[in-house]
A and B are shown apart, each in its own frame.
Chain A
């Protein structure tokens, strides 16, 4: 899974990765990795921290379901982030909820990648009526709004497993990525080097695997990051409405209980702020990572980043003159 390998990187690169000396930069480029910028670093650090919290947090906190008769209390030394109405520890809940939300995100991310890859890349590569049909199917899935469909489906099933929720979310969420992938694959398919290998008589699957897929990797990665954001947000919405997986804890269910426990009216910010904030932070961190991937996919953006501009040896006066004269 691309997300974990990328998120793990700051740990391995430790310290030196921020500076990124010239040979290091060259090496990153050769590996097809995005150049290390402040944006990317921030994204990786935040998402990595949340990932670690979700992975390791549940081992160190108390049982999130343990009820205590102290009731709703604010942060204290015993309960760092306070307790819920039934005296459950918010920090413990948060740790388990992070794990739950990330699990959903990971499953949906992979499933979406497979579905959109199949309908987007394979369809566009095969061409002909297969492409026509796949693209029609994708477009129809695209205009049928996902969440209402998910709500309808999940209301028929009273006891839902986490896997079922993930499956429904990926079934309703793959179409957008598939369309983007299809567009890009179509343009790749007509590049000279692909035509050349076709003329050279290479096998079709080999062209797909060797010539096309490697070029799709940045786009696949960015689409997968989107899918993860989409899944976590979607699950949170569903759980918030009380339609999530039964018996699971996620950021959404925490908010659902907070809402039902009148956390808002009682001013219990320590209950409803943390899950939403983590959601937003994780989403933002993934978006930051996506910015950097975007700059690989679209070189025109790359030249406009501040990192690129910082490499210019222009004096302020020269820049101002240039700004005056041209766009």
Chain B
């Protein structure tokens, strides 16, 4: 029952995301389709099929009823047809997403996971040893949290790219000396180029996880079962991990949905600063050149990724908290 509700929710959310994606271009002033097709025409011949697919995606002034358009739109999505991109003409939108998405998932996904684990770990210790230096560090990390991602990225880039050049200024890997593929040079280069962007994301988001976890630890420490654990004479490490942190982490996990949106948002801007070849840069490129088809496609993919991540976290939650399992 519980699982069914969850899945049901994600199906509805998916539907809502698709629908928002359908409605926005139709609600907006102007005629994106003719603009797009005119632009496409400058780049090369536009086939009638490509034209039709863009019309379905963005809506036209034809008298076709909205409902029929909607059905066509869903049909196109089901077959994976997201139209053609202007800025990367004549590549289909899907292939551009295919190229850029792995970079973003690699960078943002990894950085977010590292930041989460680090924040939870530090928050656990800070809450456990209240008043310690780590605990007193919390206001400082909150300061970092309110630093906008892109500004921090700019500063880091300024310090480590210009003033003290240890890291490359932009890009995802060394495009001159390495060949993309599963070879050591390329992977090393990717890691090297990814360090500074990842650091930006971690520094600006770790404070939030840490503060949340610390506060929950403090609340949890006054629970009765902590007193029991103490009276039982368990080793402090065991009490901290299995009794306090295990319970305190639950709100952090369920709060993941709220935070993930922020993380993704911040990361898009971060990609822009570092000219990272990810999906955020592609989105901005699309915006810059009025590449509506690409833009809609990317928005859809970002939304789906966030939905997917939330589903994963939800499943993880029910593994950690037996009380949700009982309701199945």
Which residues from chain A sit less than 8 Å from chain B, CB to CB? 39, 136, 139-140, 142-149, 151-153, 155-158, 176, 179, 229-230, 233-234, 236-237, 240-243, 255, 259, 264-265, 267, 269, 272-273, 275-276, 279-280, 282-284, 286-288, 291, 294, 298, 300-301, 303-304, 306, 309, 326-327
Interface of B is mostly: helix
Binds A, one of B20-28, B72-80, B185-193, B316-324: B20-28
* Complex alpha-carbon distance, A303 and B130, angstroms: 11
Provide the residues of chain A in CB contact with B144, threshold 8 Å.
280
Is B283 an interface residue, CB under 8 A from the partner?
yes
* Complex alpha-carbon distance, A264 and B162, angstroms: 8
Q: Are B142's CB and A143's CB within 8 A?
A: no
B166 to chain A, nearest CB (A): 16
* Complex alpha-carbon distance, A158 and B290, angstroms: 10
Decide: A306 near B131, CB < 8 A? Known: A147-B265, A326-B230. yes
Q: Are B148's CB and A237's CB within 8 A?
A: yes
Provide the residues of chain A in CB contact with B128, threshold 8 Å.
327
Binds A, one of B94-102, B110-118, B255-263: B255-263
| B interface size (C-beta, 8 A) | 67
Q: Are A276's CB and B151's CB within 8 A?
A: yes
- What 6 A-B pairs are tightest by C-beta distance, nearest first? A283-B146, A147-B265, A276-B151, A156-B28, A280-B147, A284-B143
Given contacts A276-B147, A306-B131, 13 further A-B contacts (CB under 8 A): A39-B139, A140-B12, A144-B306, A145-B264, A147-B261, A156-B30, A176-B258, A229-B146, A264-B158, A283-B146, A288-B139, A326-B230, A327-B239
A237 partner, pick from B130, B150, B290, B306, beta carbons under 8 A = B150
Q: Which of B249-297 contact A (CB under 8 A)?
A: 257-258, 260-262, 264-266, 268-269, 272, 283-284, 287-288, 290, 292, 295-296
Is B221 an interface residue, CB under 8 A from the partner?
yes
A327 partner, pick from B13, B226, B260, B264, beta carbons under 8 A = B226
* Complex alpha-carbon distance, A155 and B289, angstroms: 10
A271 to chain B, nearest CB (A): 11
Decide: A144 near B20, CB < 8 A? Known: A284-B142, A298-B219, A301-B215. yes
Most A CB within 10 A of own CB, among B30, B144, B146, B226: B146
Provide the residues of chain A in CB contact with B28, threshold 8 Å.
153, 156-157
* Complex alpha-carbon distance, A140 and B13, angstroms: 5
* Complex alpha-carbon distance, A142 and B28, angstroms: 23
* Complex alpha-carbon distance, A301 and B29, angstroms: 50
B261 partner, pick from A142, A157, A288, beta carbons under 8 A = A142
* Complex alpha-carbon distance, A30 and B219, angstroms: 24
Q: Are B290's CB and A152's CB within 8 A?
A: no
30 A–B pairs (Cβ distance < 8 Å), ordered by A = A143-B310, A144-B13, A144-B16, A144-B303, A145-B265, A147-B266, A147-B269, A148-B302, A152-B24, A153-B28, A233-B148, A236-B151, A237-B150, A241-B272, A241-B287, A276-B154, A279-B146, A279-B151, A280-B146, A280-B148, A282-B146, A287-B142, A287-B146, A291-B142, A294-B215, A298-B215, A300-B219, A301-B219, A304-B130, A327-B239
Q: Are B230's CB and A236's CB within 8 A?
A: no
Q: Are B148's CB and A279's CB within 8 A?
A: yes
> Which residue of chain B lies nearest to A158 when distances are taken between CB atoms in the complex?
B30
Q: Are A152's CB and B265's CB within 8 A?
A: no
Q: Are A146's CB and B261's CB within 8 A?
A: yes
Q: Are B148's CB and A236's CB within 8 A?
A: yes
Interface of A is mostly: helix
Provide the residues of chain B in CB contact with A234, threshold 8 Å.
265
Q: Are A136's CB and B299's CB within 8 A?
A: no
Q: Are B265's CB and A146's CB within 8 A?
A: yes
Provide the residues of chain A in CB contact with B12, threshold 8 Å.
136, 140
Provide the residues of chain B in CB contact with A326, threshold 8 Å.
230
B16 partner, pick from A140, A240, A273, A291, beta carbons under 8 A = A140
Provide the residues of chain A in CB contact with B50, threshold 8 Å.
none
* Complex alpha-carbon distance, A148 and B302, angstroms: 8
Q: Are A142's CB and B298's CB within 8 A?
A: no
Is B218 an interface residue, CB under 8 A from the partner?
yes
* Complex alpha-carbon distance, A186 and B139, angstroms: 31
* Complex alpha-carbon distance, A248 and B274, angstroms: 26
Q: Are A267's CB and B162's CB within 8 A?
A: yes
B129 to chain A, nearest CB (A): 9
* Complex alpha-carbon distance, A179 and B257, angstroms: 11
Q: Are B154's CB and A153's CB within 8 A?
A: no
Q: Are B20's CB and A149's CB within 8 A?
A: yes
Please encode chain B, from 15 to 53, with 1 for each CB lying within 8 Å of some chain A CB and 0 for all others: 011001000110011101000000000000000000000
* Complex alpha-carbon distance, A267 and B154, angstroms: 12
B295 partner, pick from A155, A291, A301, beta carbons under 8 A = A155
* Complex alpha-carbon distance, A217 and B28, angstroms: 37
* Complex alpha-carbon distance, A266 and B295, angstroms: 33
Provide the residues of chain B in CB contact with A142, threshold 8 Å.
257-258, 261
Provide the residues of chain A in CB contact with B298, threshold 8 Å.
148
* Complex alpha-carbon distance, A255 and B155, angstroms: 11
* Complex alpha-carbon distance, A280 and B152, angstroms: 10
Q: Are A276's CB and B155's CB within 8 A?
A: yes
* Complex alpha-carbon distance, A32 and B222, angstroms: 24
> Which residue of chain A lies nearest to B254 when distances are taken between CB atoms in the complex?
A179
Is B157 an interface residue, CB under 8 A from the partner?
yes
Provide the residues of chain A in CB contact with B239, threshold 8 Å.
327
Q: Are B287's CB and A280's CB within 8 A?
A: no
B287 to chain A, nearest CB (A): 4
> Which residue of chain B lies nearest to A287 when distances are taken between CB atoms in the complex?
B142
A323 to chain B, nearest CB (A): 9
Is B60 an interface residue, CB under 8 A from the partner?
no
Q: Are B221's CB and A144's CB within 8 A?
A: no
* Complex alpha-carbon distance, A298 and B251, angstroms: 14
Is B9 an interface residue, CB under 8 A from the partner?
yes
Q: Are A148's CB and B16's CB within 8 A?
A: no
* Complex alpha-carbon distance, A282 and B146, angstroms: 8
Q: Which of B163-205 contact A (CB under 8 A)?
A: 163
Is B149 an interface residue, CB under 8 A from the partner?
yes
